[in-house]
Amino acid sequence: MGSADLANLSDKLMLTTVVLYIVAMVSYAADLGFGRRRAAAGAEEKAEEKAEEKVLVGAAGAEAAEPSAEKAEAAEETGGGERRAIDWARLAVLLNVLGWGAHLGVIVTRGLAGERWPWGNMYEFLTAIAFAAVTAFLIVLWRFQARFLGAFVSLAAVVGLGVANIWLYDSVGPVVPALNSYWIAIHVSAAIIATGAFTVGGTSTILYLLKARQEARSAVKEGAGGGFLDRLPGSDALDRLSVRVTMFAFPIWTAAIIMGAIWADEAWGRYWGWDPKEIWSFITWVIYAAYLHARATAGWKGRKAAILALIAFAALLFNFFGVNYMFSGLHSYA
């Protein structure tokens, strides 16, 4: 298969990826909105049936319980209402994994088409960041059963891929000489992984703030509902998840900055030149470091710590979008 065919395949896989992520996002939202409610209703119904069966057994003996057994057998043969209902959770995860596989295919085929590492321009870099974010979510899903993040991370991935395809798309071609180095596989990969993980952490932080606000309102006004927020974990659980993901991403971001300095010395003859990208990468690092340090030593928790984490995430986004388009520097080739 030639380079043009591989590039064309990459574009087609991109369309498949976006469609799968959109359907997965809708399925996650359906599970968040209806899945737990249906499960709770099913549990209550089973409890009522069990209590009713005990009453029948106690009042009329084993013979009176036969209709209940026959009812259960009939439900088993027909599949039952619960079995006929769509399992949004499994559907969402399945579509998410299929989309992740297609997304991986996008990156691999584009790299093969260009015979280089496939993050040499903004389109490829944003595509890789979206992939890293989805990968980080799937790991969090497996490790912490945090399925509630699926709709929001999928939305972020769809928006990122949409921006990449509509405004940043660039055909496959050679990279500038400065990027033709093995360091791109080390430095840029680390930055991509950290950014993807920070995205999941930032999403969890936003949900924490919304959930904490809803809990505070419920404490003041009993019974105050928060829509989908009622079906999220408690604010403490969201806060812990955000911290754990950030603690994972921060050392990788640190390594990315250090390896970038080493690469800069090889490419431009200096480790640090106060380039706009270098400055904002360092600012992002400082804010995240302050956030983790404040939580570990000053006991910062709750809203003020979450706001600091969101400031750091905003600096990260500005470092990617704002710096590349508002400032000129040695990283402008991206």
Phi, psi angles (nearest 5°) of residue 222: -60, 130
Structural domain includes residue 187: yes
Tell me: the pLDDT tens digits for 266-286? 888 888 888 888 999 999 999
Give the residue-averaged pLDDT of 15-25.
97
Structural domain includes residue 136: no
d(CA 299, CA 326): 37
- 287: domain range? 176-334
Q: How confident is the model at residue 329 (pLDDT cuts 50, 70, 90)?
A: low
Structural domain includes residue 109: no
Record the pTM.
Answer: 0.84
Structural domain includes residue 240: yes
d(CA 31, CA 24): 10
Structural domain includes residue 7: no
Asked if pLDDT for residue 76 goes beyond 50, the answer is no
Number of domains in the chain: 2
48 and 189 both lie in a single domain? no
329 and 191 both lie in a single domain? yes
In 3D, which of 309, 240, 32 has the Cα closest to residue 149?
A: 32
186 and 326 both lie in a single domain? yes
| Predicted pLDDT at 82 | 47
Tell me: the pLDDT tens digits for 157-199? 999 999 999 999 998 888 877 778 888 899 999 999 999 999 9
Structural domain includes residue 4: no
In the chain, pLDDT over 70 holds for what percent of residues? 81
Query: Which of 167-181, 233-247, 265-279, 312-326 is most confident?
Result: 233-247
How big, in percent rounded to 5, are the helix, strand and coil portions of the chain? 85, 0, 15
| Predicted pLDDT at 62 | 45
Map tokens 């950014």 to a residue: 195
Structural domain includes residue 160: no
210 and 67 both lie in a single domain? no
Structural domain includes residue 132: no
73 and 213 both lie in a single domain? no
In the chain, pLDDT over 90 holds for what percent of residues? 58
183 and 326 both lie in a single domain? yes
| Predicted pLDDT at 323 | 84
Give the residue-averaged pLDDT of 25-54.
64
198 and 329 both lie in a single domain? yes
d(CA 235, CA 244): 14
325 and 220 both lie in a single domain? yes
| Predicted pLDDT at 292 | 95
SS3 assignment for 75-101: HHHHCHHHHHCCCHHHHHHHHHHHHHH
DSSP SS3 for 299: coil
